[in-house]
């Protein structure tokens, strides 16, 4: 059976005009004889009645008394509303459709309310409706425990529902429809000549998503990568092909891999750098620092451990707690607030000499000090002062010629 999964985000479903675009993409695939599973997110953004943020506000009434189980039950409603509304639109057009909750679609999860993991997808019911010729609309962002309790998958989780369904049903492709044309070489709000990318590898998009690009949830990519299911990130509001995401090897054999050393930039703002110097103090300083952070659920980054002390970063939200913990341990950290982390990402940089030299040269010429750096085989991260972020992104974008990224060629 030729099957694709389409996922529509909240802004694609929020008004009548947007939903007409959704209908157009559904009709185009049906006319080509494709079977469809359509995953939906909650409608609209914060402040709009059925958006997840609005439901979260309801959950917080009564002094946060709502238990986790009931909170998930409430949050799951946003996607159920979208699924039923889309079903009514399709039925009105004479298209056979059925709307299912995550649980009804056979998506089983563990019992971690608010951040449940998918453990299994039972596809019998999905296959039954598909073989009846129906479009199967599934409420994203949710599943069900083996005991039948509704769970949610964490913010942005409907991307994960889509790729997990794609993997379970062996879909030809998972199309993630959103309000941008695809993945760009950098955030266009910061870099005015950012260019759309025709293709990126799973590793590259994972790095982008983990480092601040909000275009797709990293867990969704991991699931697609494991199953080898291609993903496309594309706009609901145009007919553009968007950005294809698959294995680098597949892109190369299809001749659509540009073999660029650097593919794109991503960034995270609101980072605080902490340095604990320990020249003559206790030998177990490293262990005590990182244990304290871990036991308070503070995620650490840019970790640099030396015999004389440790440097690392935390998100600004966590910085006061982190500083308090360090003081409790008897350390007086040096604190640098207002930092930003810039990631230079490219599947082709592995073993390629000179990438760091280009970064250092571009930033030095722009008068931007590098406060810390780190690297992996597909990414180099630099920590800079946030007030220089726009300039840093623009100079790196130019230095790597990303403004010359060719238009889609397939
Ligand atoms: N509606 C959920 C959220 O806002 C899930 C999603 O949109 O992917 O996080
Ligand atoms: Mg999303």
E strand or H helix at 193:
none
- Residue 245 is assigned to a ligand binding site: no
Domain 264-404 architecture = 2-Layer Sandwich (3.30)
Measured in angstroms, how far is the CA atom of residue 69 from the centroid of ligand 2? 23
Nearest CA to ligand 1 atom 4: 52
160's torsion region: left (phi>0), alpha (psi -120 to 50) or beta? alpha
The CATH architecture to which 3-179+199-253 belongs is: 3-Layer(aba) Sandwich (3.40)
**Is 69 annotated among the ligand-binding residues?**
no
Give pLDDT, residue 373: 95
Helix (H) or strand (E) holding 348: none
**Cα separation of 206 and 347, whole Å?**
11
CB neighbours of residue 58 within 10 Å: 13
C-alpha to C-alpha distance for 337 and 401, rounded to whole angstroms: 31
Counting as low any pLDDT under 70, the low residues of the chain are 257-259, 280-283, 407-410
Q: Do 3-179+199-253 and 264-404 show the same overall fold?
A: no
Domain locations in the chain as residue ranges = 3-179+199-253, 264-404
Is 44's C-beta closer than 6 angstroms to any atom of ligand 1?
A: no
For ligand 1, say whether the CB of 347 is within 6 Å of any of its atoms: no
Q: Supply the pLDDT for residue 278.
A: 77
Residue 216 CA, ligand 2 centroid: distance in Å: 6
Mind listing the pLDDT tens digit for each residue in 354-381?
999 999 999 999 999 999 999 998 999 9
Specify whether the CB–CB gap between 213 and 183 falls below 8 A.
yes
pLDDT, position 63? 87
Helix or strand or coil: residue 306?
A: strand
**pLDDT number for residue 276:** 92
CA angle 218, 141, 221 (to 5 degrees): 20
Closest Cα partner for 377 from 348, 354, 343? 348
Query: Hey, what's the torsion of the CAs at 196, 198, 204, 209, to 10 degrees?
Result: 50
Name the residue with the closest Cα to ligand 1, atom 9: 155
Query: CA quadruple 320, 321, 327, 333: dihedral positive or negative?
Result: negative
Q: Is the CB of 42 under 6 A from ligand 1?
A: yes
């Amino acid at each position: 059976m030729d099957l694709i999964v389409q996922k529509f985000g909240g802004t694609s479903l929020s008004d009548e005009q947007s939903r007409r675009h959704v209908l157009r993409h559904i009709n185009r695939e049906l006319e080509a004889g494709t079977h469809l599973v359509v995953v939906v997110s909650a409608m609209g953004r914060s402040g709009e009645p059925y958006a997840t943020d609005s439901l979260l506000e309801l959950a917080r009434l009564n002094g946060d008394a709502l238990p986790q189980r009931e909170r998930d039950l409430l949050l799951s409603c946003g996607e159920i509303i979208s699924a039923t509304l889309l079903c009514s639109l399709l039925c009105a057009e004479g298209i056979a459709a059925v709307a299912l909750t995550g649980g009804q679609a056979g998506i089983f999860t563990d019992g971690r309310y608010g951040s449940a993991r998918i453990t299994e997808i039972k596809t019998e019911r999905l296959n039954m409706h598909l073989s009846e010729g129906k479009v199967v609309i599934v409420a994203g962002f949710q599943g069900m425990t083996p005991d039948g309790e509704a769970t949610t998958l964490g913010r942005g989780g409907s991307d994960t529902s889509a790729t997990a369904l794609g993997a379970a049903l062996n879909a030809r492709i998972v199309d993630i429809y959103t309000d941008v044309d695809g993945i760009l070489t950098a955030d266009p709000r910061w870099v005015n000549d950012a260019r759309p990318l025709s293709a990126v590898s799973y590793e590259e998009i994972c790095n982008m998503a983990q480092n601040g690009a909000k275009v797709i949830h990293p867990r969704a990519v991991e699931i697609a990568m494991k199953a080898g299911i291609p993903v496309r990130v594309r706009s609901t509001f145009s007919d553009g092909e968007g950005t294809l995401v698959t294995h680098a090897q597949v892109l190369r054999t299809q001749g659509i891999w540009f073999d660029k050393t650097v593919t794109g930039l991503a960034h995270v703002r609101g980072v605080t750098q902490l340095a604990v110097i320990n020249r003559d103090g206790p030998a177990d300083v490293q262990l005590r620092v990182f244990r304290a952070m871990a036991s308070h659920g503070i995620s650490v980054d840019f970790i640099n451990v030396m015999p004389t002390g440790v440097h690392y970063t935390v998100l600004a939200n966590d910085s006061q707690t982190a500083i308090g913990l360090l003081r409790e341990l008897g350390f007086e950290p040096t604190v640098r607030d207002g930092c930003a982390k810039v990631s230079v990402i490219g599947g082709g940089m592995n073993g390629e000499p000179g990438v760091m030299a280009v970064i250092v040269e571009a930033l030095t010429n722009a008068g931007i000090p590098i406060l810390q750096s780190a690297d992996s085989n597909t990414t180099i991260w630099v920590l800079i002062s946030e007030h220089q972020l726009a300039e840093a992104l623009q100079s790196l974008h130019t230095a790597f010629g990303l403004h010359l990224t060719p238009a889609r060629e397939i």
